[in-house]
Structure 1
């Protein structure tokens, strides 16, 4: 399955809530979700009661869209989470949070996860001094991420230096002046500030025998 390339605001409307896929636009009156609170398409305004399976599926799709993850990697992450010690749903969210593109976004080095993914692919970041251009690269505690020296002079990163917002989660440490950050702890469930019911995803994959 190819990555979705259509208007991302349609994804938010489909889930019935903001997924914050457009960066600053999501916080303005121009956000389509605020103006049209129904799903897109010809039958978008007709309300249908979801079955238990439908509710679980919608939650899984919502999380995939939050983090920009396709189905195959999502299943792989679930298997990893299921085999790890602890609560499977929380393990799954921890894995998603530790993706390189999400860490870039959480550090405030990109306006959205989609932008972070694009910046990573274009090779603007190093991890522990080595160039990494794979958005799905999983970070570890102690890893240091930094914008490449050649990229620091670009207008994009100059703007980030000047306007960086100090709302970095506690498991990350950021140096806005140096455009770098470090993972100082594993993310906990309390660090995930998204309206996610991860137990529904676990129920869905368990029902489908994803092991």
Structure 2
């Protein structure tokens, strides 16, 4: 499965925020990468450049490549409602993102790996497709023989569960429930989705 495997800190510095999660390297060098990263006289982005930057930011945040993102956007366009909000809702409903949001994995990258390696179960059946779209009422759990994995145990012990209103977590059974699709105001990512809509409307 194709995905971005390059340096994450450099990408975070490019966008000015740790989009891949906690990052000590980013904290040390929060200015843009490159020879002139600390220069105050940086070239101002054009309108197109600002829109493109938002699209790239979302792609890196959720771990999608260009074709995947384009297909997701087209699906959002066909849905009822505000296209930008529908786009974020579809991205939040991805299985790898839900695994991350539930605190089963420390990052979306780690969540994608857990899904791909068949450690995650949805409604009683193993699902190894990171882009699998969750529906309200779906139950997500960890395969019995995978519950003892160090990466899963460490992530769950950090207590990040229960932070999101559209997800429910049962600490006893280590299972989660996708209650409903989130509203835009509930999604914490710092994204200006309208700029992406404007980019694709050109």
TM band (smaller chain)? over 0.9
1:188 aligns with 2:183: yes
List gaps (5 residues or longer) in structure 2. Answer: none
Q: 1:17: Cα distance to partner?
A: 1.5
Picking from 187, 197, 202, the partner of 1:202 is: 197
TM-score of the aligned structures, taking structure 2 as reference length = 0.92
Matching residue within 110, 113, 134 for 1:115: 110
1:167 Cα deviation from its structure 2 partner: 4.0
Partner residue of 1:136? 131
Residue matched to 2:31: 38
Q: Which runs of 4+ in 1 moved over 4 A?
A: none
Asked if residue 66 in structure 1 is aligned to residue 52 in structure 2, the reply is: no
- Counterpart for residue 9 of structure 2: 9
User: Is contact 1:161-1:177 (8 Å) kept?
Assistant: no
Q: What TM-score, normalized to structure 1?
A: 0.89
- Aligned-residue offset at 1:161: 4.5
The answer to whether the 8 Å contact 2:103/2:156 transfers is no
Q: How does 1:81-92 map to 2 (within 5 A)?
A: 81-92=76-87
Deviates more, 1:131-140 or 1:170-179: 170-179
After alignment, is 58-67 or 44-53 more displaced? 44-53
**Aligned match of 1:102:** 97
Cα drift, residue 200 of structure 1: 0.2
SS at match of 1:150: helix
What are the Cα deviations for residues 72-124 of structure 1, in whole angstroms up to 9, with x where unaligned? 11111111111100000000000000000000001111111111111111110
Q: How many residues align?
A: 200
Q: Distance in 2 between matches of 1:37 and 1:153?
A: 36
Equivalent residues in 2 for 1:11-30, closer than 5 Å: 11-19=11-19, 21=20, 23=21, 25-26=22-23
Cα distance in 2 for partners of 1:111, 1:159 equals 8
Structure-2 separation of matches of 1:37 and 1:160: 26
Q: Could you list the runs of 5+ residues in structure 1 that have no partner in the other structure?
A: none
- Alignment deviations for residues 112-150 of structure 1 (CA, whole Å, 9 cap, x no partner): 111111111111001111110111111101111100011
RMSD, aligned α-carbons: 1.7
